[in-house]
Structure 1
């Protein structure tokens, strides 16, 4: 199921690895619950901003913590950065590509070289297996112009 995710925050069930209300995927994997009121955002960028290379991005997260990929710890996840991605599958592991950057060591910032022009950026919090939480915790999709 392809979904366009561009919510600035998500309300959710209490933090837990698995709850009765978290959906089970066709693979048998039960999605990890997100904490209520969790919010994911860009600390230093805003929609419509013009930036220069290198572009520094600082990731903000409130309501949950950050843990490296592969670490199963309730109330945590790790960041994924979507660059020029309009739609993605919220029920599958986020793929690794130039457009979907994984920060599986628990990083909370990065510096990128982006081609001049307009780009969309969005953060998605993934569980220990790179699968978005339930409900999805994603930042607003912002547009920046690189000069």
Structure 2
């Protein structure tokens, strides 16, 4: 590898690291008394097959992903997983469900057994607020 290519690669890496650090520094605030919570199902519920999850937020607003509006965010549902790093974009996979259209309820189809659910609110870029708004982790049992 030539020195020029090595330096170009190093410069690109520094730009990416700088952008990531800037994104971490620009986490959005929410009101101190804001709270996110799971309305339904309750902790310990036994649910059948597909069921609806209802998500709540008090003292803040819901806005779709990509909409830059103060004191708002959108819901993410963590299924059978722990909290992701709270200073980075929330992953988007089967354990980290994004509701970027501003949805406040969703139908879940989980296999039979015990499952954990936890809400995490994030800004227009899917990054948790500062301080982060998360619900209590609950457990539900899905039966056929």
Normalization by structure 1: what TM-score? 0.81
Superposition RMSD in Å = 1.2
* Aligned counterparts of 2:142 and 2:114: Cα–Cα separation in 1: 6
Aligned-partner SS, 2:118: strand
Equivalent in the alignment of 1:36:
32
2:96 aligned partner: 100
**Residue of structure 2 equivalent to 1:88:** 84
Measured in 2, the distance between the counterparts of 1:101 and 1:26 equals 22
* C-alpha distance in structure 2 between counterparts of 1:26 and 1:101, whole Å: 22
Matched, 1:64 2:60: yes
CA distance in 1, matches of 2:130, 2:138: 22
Could you say what secondary structure the match of 1:28 adopts?
helix
Provide the C-alpha distance between the structure 1 equivalents of 2:70 and 2:50, rounded to a whole number of angstroms: 35
Corresponding residue number in structure 2 for 1:27: 21
Q: Please give the alpha-carbon distance, in whole angstroms, between the structure 1 residues aligned to 2:49 and 2:92.
A: 23
How far does residue 136 in structure 1 lie from its aligned partner after superposition? 0.5
1:125 maps to 121
Q: Specify which structure has the higher proportion of helix.
A: 2
Count residues with an aligned counterpart: 123
Decide which structure has the larger Cα Rg and report it: 2
Normalising by structure 2, report the TM-score: 0.82
